[in-house]
Chain A
Amino acid sequence: MADTADTQASEGNERDTVAYIYGIVPADVESDPEARGIGDPPSEIAVVRHGDIAALVSHISPDKPIGKPEDLTAHAQVLDATAGVAPVLPLRFGAVVSDEDAVTSELLAEHHDEFASALRELDGKAEYVVKGRYDEQAVLKEILQESEDAARLREAVKEKPEDAARNDRIALGELINNAIAAKREVDTRKAVEKLGELGVTVNVREPTHERDAVYVACLAEVARQSDLEKVVGELANAWEGRVHMRLLGPLAAYDFVVTKQPQE
């Protein structure tokens, strides 16, 4: 990962900056002069164009490490702000090349047709993330009602001193964890089914929290966002008090843009 292009820095590009790339968009996308990206102070966003496509880029110092919370949210915000109005191919966080020339010649020119066709497929669509989290009290009560083993272990834990009950506690916790995993599977299937009725493409994400009930990304028409909101509202109604639902989006299509294998 050496900086091999140092000696070729061209005119107009400062040698003490490198080009951070957020993602790829159609060439007619304009950058919002108010928008700010990663870095401290937050950097401006430039649109580097080639043919029908362009890259959203910031000039940053090569010497400062990146990845602070503000950098991560800035990366997402730059892409997501675009996703509502134009298709965008998001790059994974941390993509840096030597300068704007490299963005044009190596990234955009060499892969122009591939990127342009992926952008056409995404036209009018954006990613939405549906997240449901079990209410702790509600789901524990549910499990204790449904599982005799859980209720029995709960009594065992209660009766013994804390040290002696350690194994029972672990067994109880594991049982609960497994019961939640089983519920997650059922509830995720229900959500995927309901979302599927809208004709949206769904990607089930790995849970990242032990009480995750549903964690899926969908690729949906931005114009039909209200249909999606309706379905999530129906799920929230059906699971009132049991699962807390969130809907994020429009977002860049992180889950549906894959290297070497553009969607479909």
Chain B
Amino acid sequence: MTTAVQPAGGGGGGFDRPSSSSLADVIDTILDKGLVIDAYVRVSLVGIELLTIDARIVVASVDTYLRFAEAVNRLDISDNEQKGLPDLIQDMNEGGAKSRTKGALEAAGDKLKDFLAEPADEGDREPVNRGRRRKDED
């Protein structure tokens, strides 16, 4: 496992590969895309009651703005400037990329972490758990 570029699923840059679409994916897809039956069938068309579907998220409303402002307010940016290196080190460790300089880099990371108010953000780096984000869309 020494290849530099790690394809699908390997390494730190994993992506979700669900076997079927979530409801949110489906709503984006089947309600306003695909062939329109009215264009092909006129005589035998049957009007059947469609339940109202209002799951689309309105982009860019005042509510959106206020939510973003709130998120910024909660944001802890104390580790802003120095975020780069510890992150990089963690990526390398998690990605399984073994390097001769690993020891040295780790030491540097430890030093940096000493300066930081909080430990490197472990919680953000769980590629396998990304599926849960889907509930954001519902």
Contact = CB atoms under 8 A, between A and B. Distances in A.
A239 B13 contact: yes
A75 B26 CA distance: 9
A230 B17 CA distance: 12
Contacts of A259: 35-36, 39-40
A233 B13 contact: yes
B41 A177 contact: no
B17 A93 contact: no
B25 A92 contact: no
Contact of B65 (A60, A97, A135, A174): A174
A98 B46 contact: yes
Given A5-B44, A208-B57, A237-B12, A68 B51 contact: yes
A69 B25 CA distance: 12
A32 interface: no
Interface string B1-26: 00001111111111111101101111
Contact of B25 (A5, A18, A248): A248
A137 B9 contact: no
Which of A2, A96, A137, A236 gathers most chain B CB within 10 Å? A236
B34 A91 contact: yes
Interface in B31-50: 31-37, 39-50
A131 B130 CA distance: 13
Contacts of A137: 75, 121, 124
Contacts of A97: 37, 41, 44-46
Interface residues of B, number: 74
B77 interface: yes
B135 interface: no
Given A111-B40, A234-B5, A237-B12, A76 B21 contact: yes
Looking at chain A's contact residues, is the secondary structure mostly helix, strand, loop, or mixed?
Answer: mixed
Contacts of A205: 28
B29 A173 contact: no
Contacts of A15: none
A65 interface: yes
Contacts of A172: 65, 68-69, 72
A-B pairs with lowest CB-CB distance, top 8: A173-B65, A1-B47, A237-B13, A102-B44, A67-B51, A95-B37, A245-B15, A65-B49
19 contacts: A1-B45, A1-B47, A72-B31, A73-B21, A91-B35, A92-B35, A107-B41, A140-B68, A140-B71, A140-B72, A141-B77, A169-B69, A170-B66, A172-B68, A172-B72, A176-B68, A236-B15, A241-B125, A248-B21
Given A137-B121, A241-B91, 5 more contacts: A5-B46, A80-B20, A90-B33, A173-B64, A254-B33
Interface of A: 1-5, 18, 21, 23-24, 60, 62, 64-69, 72-73, 75-77, 80, 89-99, 102, 106-107, 110-111, 129, 131, 133, 135-138, 140-141, 144-145, 150, 154, 157-158, 168-170, 172-174, 176-177, 205, 207-210, 226, 229-230, 232-241, 244-248, 251-252, 254-255, 257-260
